Amino acid sequence: MKRRSIMAAMMALITAGGLLTGCGANGAKENPGAGQNSVQGESHAKTELTFFHYLEQYQDQFDKLAEMYAEANPDVELKIECIGSDYDKILQTRVASGEVPDIFISGPYMKNQNYASVSYDLSNEEFVKEVEIGPEFKASNGELTAIPFVTQAWGVLYNQEVFEKLGITEAPETLKELDVVCRKIQDAGIIPFAMGYKSDYVKKQLFGFTFGVDENYKQNIEQLANKEKELKDFEFIYKIFDGAELVGKYLQPNPFNDDFATAGAKLGTGEAAMMICGDQIVQNARKANPDSTIGLMPYPLSNDPADAKIYTCASAGLHVSRDSANRDAALEFINWMVTSQEVKDWLSNDMEILSAIKGVTPTGSQVMMDAQKWTSEGKASAWASNLFPQGVETELISAMDKFLLGDISKEEAIDEMNTAWTEFEN
């Protein structure tokens, strides 16, 4: 297998008086520091910034970033709140109550648009020239409402040691070739695929990102949203289920008992050879086996090699609250994140991610190199589900859930998804 690589994703926080980067699955932990400096007996209030994010799997990296910023800016206290699941629900509750964090993260496109009204327009900031700006974080009115800083990739993540041990040297480009690889792995007593179906977003990604297998995915989603076409009219949806059906033949026992993290641990230890997921799984794999090397290859969806792709996205953007009382300090923090060589080195070497920030060139991640390689070969598409209108995903996940459980056929699942698109209110 050619050594290729991917990225891992994330970023955030710090504090000046005391380090804090706690994160919970359904709640937040934050820096309890008092925010006071005592100099020669005098007490001076620090500028206090609140930072809200969901990047829970990168706490060690956040700790280091916190130390870096505290050293560079001793008069600023950054209070970090990290939410795992329900991030958008909790953030939207904060927004509705007028408690918008000074700095916060969102996903692209529709998720970015959800926060456009409370986000400061960054278009005219000097530091923007240090970032490759695409459409992901531009609001419908043209404002740049967030700075993209994390780029992720998704596809077939594989345990490189397992592949080398079994002599698998070429990435399968078709479903037939993937089936052959799976049988070879299974015959060696290794689980071909570990999937964390306990996590809803794993199932959502399996059908949602792969809408991008069709190069006209933007037009397709617009036509679905506008009720101009039905889902069952598109060939790509049948390919998506063909891929999921093949993966389902080669899963670990009880995949609905495993979440994203536990499935990733199986990948890291070599109990399983592959997992269809994003680059952030590398963190979970390394926790289970620090010596593991995880690579990335395209996910085939048919017997046409053109349908084997990885899927990439500028997936996280940094927002500044439009009405923040500490907006200047928040902008200064974003400027530091974007322009500091120290931060660029941190993104490259500690986070090991791709980024829209110029000068970030990760070299230590096999997955990262793979992502760059496949992209350069024209084997990459976008996370198409980022363009889905609000209100449709819940029913789509429900249909995929029942299909993966074996409760309904793929034809029935496609019918249910078709109904979800035709009946949702945009």
Q: Are residues 217 and 92 in the same domain?
A: no
Q: Which residue has the tokens 């609001």?
A: 139
pLDDT tens-place string over residues 331-367:
999 999 999 999 999 999 888 888 999 999 877 789 9
Q: Are residues 53 and 126 in the same domain?
A: yes
Q: Are residues 235 and 299 in the same domain?
A: yes
Query: Is 191 within 8 Å of 273 (Cβ atoms)?
Result: yes
Q: What is the CATH number of the domain that holds 269?
A: 3.40.190.10
Query: Is 416 within 8 Å of 398 (Cβ atoms)?
Result: yes
Within-domain flag for 183: yes
- 126: nearest Cα among 335, 342, 333, 340: 335
Q: Are residues 38 and 122 in the same domain?
A: yes
Within-domain flag for 15: no
Rg (CA), the chain: 22
Q: Are residues 262 and 407 in the same domain?
A: yes
Two tokens, residue 63: 């700790």
Q: Are residues 160 and 304 in the same domain?
A: yes
Q: Are residues 109 and 248 in the same domain?
A: no
Within-domain flag for 82: yes
Query: 39: domain range?
Result: 23-152+314-361
What is the spatial distance between Cα 112 and Cα 107, in angstroms, rounded to a whole number?
6
Q: Are residues 229 and 325 in the same domain?
A: no
Q: Are residues 235 and 340 in the same domain?
A: no
What is the spatial distance between Cα 421 and Cα 172, in angstroms, rounded to a whole number?
32
Per-residue pLDDT of the chain (426 residues; tens, 9 = 90+): 544 333 333 333 333 333 344 454 344 444 433 344 433 444 457 899 999 988 877 778 877 888 898 899 999 988 888 887 789 999 999 999 999 999 999 999 999 999 999 999 999 999 999 999 999 999 999 999 999 988 999 999 999 999 999 999 999 999 999 999 999 999 999 999 999 999 998 999 999 999 999 999 999 999 999 999 999 999 999 999 999 999 999 999 999 999 999 999 999 999 999 999 999 899 899 999 999 999 999 999 999 999 999 999 999 999 999 999 999 999 999 999 999 999 999 999 888 888 999 999 877 789 989 999 999 999 999 999 999 988 898 999 999 999 999 999 999 999 999 999 999 986
pTM: 0.83
Within-domain flag for 307: yes
**What is the 8-class DSSP label of residue 299?**
B
Query: Among positive and negative, which fits the CA dihedral 235, 236, 237, 239?
Result: positive
Our count of domains for the chain comes to 2
Within-domain flag for 366: no
Q: How many helices (H) and strands (E) does the chain have?
A: 15, 12
Two tokens, residue 278: 């994003």
Within-domain flag for 220: yes
Two tokens, residue 376: 């350069």
* Angle, CA of 322, 326 and 330, to the nearest 5°: 75
Query: Is 149 within 8 Å of 353 (Cβ atoms)?
Result: no
